[in-house]
Amino acid sequence: MENSGKEKRMLLDVHEKPFLIPGLLLSFQHVFAMFGATILVPLVLGLPVSTALLASGVGTLIYMVVTQFKVPVYLGSSFAYITAMSFAIDQMGGSIDAAQTGIMLVGLVYVVVAFIIHKIGSGWINKLFPPIVIGPMIIVIGLGLSATAVQNAGFIEGGDWRQILTAVVTFAVAVFVTFKGKGFAKVIPFLIAIIVGYIVAILLGIVDLTPVHEASWFALPDIRLPFGNSPDRYNFYFGAEALAIIPIAFVTIAEHMGDVMVLGEITGHDFIKKPGLDRTLAGDGIASLFSAFIGGPANTTYGENTGVIGMTKVASISVIRNAAIIAIIISFLGKFTALISTIPQSVLGGMSILLYGVIASNGLKVLISNRTDFNQSRNLIIASAMLVIGLGGAVLEVGSALVISGTALSAIVGIILNLVLPAEEK
């Protein structure tokens, strides 16, 4: 899957840099792509949004250092731990002690697994994840949040026509610029689409600018630490409420491998081999540990930003790095944070329809490029089971705190079927 000298999939590859102004616009495009989901997680959990943004930016930089600046990945707030963290906070009477400690332990689990992989190698990855498993997994990753994108776009029963129109305009502008854009405009279709969609939303009266007027120009992120005399401090806690979060790490590790494979398929680089799965896992884990330490949610690789790379064909690590720096700066700018937070969900929904579809299409590309034979019952069964379980809302509860669903459950089913079903003669 590594790039050859004869074929270059990206307009800008990992270590290539754009000019300053175009590069900053590309970086802002990534910031917009991750912003909605990154701030939604802390809003649900009652954690500070500014801290989540700070942790997102710093976590991405940590990831880059650990992966030797070879993987163009952006890290944002993880949805996978919302249920477990909410449960821990409720059990502790509103205290975040158990939730934050639990996520830090999850980060350590990532590091331990990374160390094991470093010692024994990652050759087993190819056995567990052949194309017939990778392809459907990527499709599930891409379409797993398709219902959310459609709902945000307003395409629901009784939906507001203004939201639908805004989503359609955003989608249409992104498609038009992708096909008809000239020069640099062609590689920032989502940034242009979001700006146009936002203007339309303002004209239609579905944007509330009150938070912008009320916000201060400059404000320190609301960091919470496990020491000091701050009223917002928390304590390390290693009770059952914190330990119950740990098993979810093995679910998100499977999702992490899927995300790295998606990015590899898009860019033509085998990141599992170089810089290595051990480094990508360690970077993800340390980033989550840092985020939890300062009072933020767990971090994870973001499919939205991978979709941006797939559409723009720009995999420049400098673009992602600058997006992380911008996120850190924004965490200190109260009015700008408030302004971006007023972007309607319908704008993000219109954009997400395209982004998630691009990721899913790369799953089809894996199956096609590897000439997967669906005349074989084995392949048909594996793909069918993974798609239905991954997209059908299947949930497997293991105890009161661990819930396996979506991509992780689909991947587990695919791995098991691939190992137990006998190979067929062609």
What does each C-alpha distance from 349 to 29, 73, 371 come to in angstroms? 15, 22, 33
Contact in structure between 412 and 380 (CB atoms under 8 Å): no
**Could you tell me how far CA 184 lies from the centroid of its own chain?**
25
Tokens matching residue 201: 């939303």
Query: What is the spatial distance between Cα 97 and Cα 307, in angstroms, rounded to a whole number?
Result: 35
Helix axes 248-267, 345-369, angle to 10 degrees: 70
> Do the bridges between strand 299-301 and strand 75-77 make them parallel or antiparallel, or are there none, so unpaired?
antiparallel
Written as one letter, the residue type at 161 is W
Contact in structure between 92 and 98 (CB atoms under 8 Å): yes
Question: Would you call 188 helix, strand, or coil by DSSP?
Answer: coil
Give the angle subtended at the CA of 253 by the CAs of 247 and 255, to the nearest 5°. Answer: 115
This prediction has a pTM of 0.72
- What averages of pLDDT result for each successive group of 10 residues across the chain (426 residues)? 54 90 90 78 79 95 96 88 79 88 94 92 75 84 78 85 92 87 71 87 88 83 79 82 79 80 88 92 96 93 84 91 94 81 83 79 82 90 93 77 70 90 77
Query: What is the spatial distance between Cα 279 and Cα 289, in angstroms, rounded to a whole number?
Result: 15
DSSP code of residue 423? P
Contact in structure between 77 and 42 (CB atoms under 8 Å): yes
Check residue 299 and give its pLDDT. Answer: 93
Contact in structure between 206 and 344 (CB atoms under 8 Å): yes
How many helices (H) and strands (E) the chain has is answered by: 19, 4
Other CB atoms within a 10 A radius of the CB of residue 421 amount to: 15
Tokens matching residue 122: 């990652």
- Residue 359's Cβ-count burial label (10 Å; 0-12, 13-18, 19+) is buried
Check residue 8 and give its pLDDT. Answer: 65
Query: What is the spatial distance between Cα 320 and Cα 167, in angstroms, rounded to a whole number?
Result: 26
Nearest to 358 by CA among 148, 145, 155, 166: 145
Check residue 138 and give its pLDDT. Answer: 78
Check residue 41 and give its pLDDT. Answer: 79
300 CB contacts (<8 Å, ≥6 apart)? Answer: 75, 76, 77, 78, 79, 80, 252, 255, 256, 259, 284, 288
Nearest to 30 by CA among 287, 317, 331: 317
Question: Would you call 3 helix, strand, or coil by DSSP?
Answer: coil
What does each C-alpha distance from 360 to 94, 226, 310, 364 come to in angstroms? 39, 41, 11, 7
What does each C-alpha distance from 194 to 82, 120, 347, 379 come to in angstroms? 27, 45, 6, 40
Check residue 2 and give its pLDDT. Answer: 45
Element at 43 (helix H, strand E): helix 20-45
Other CB atoms within a 10 A radius of the CB of residue 81 amount to: 26
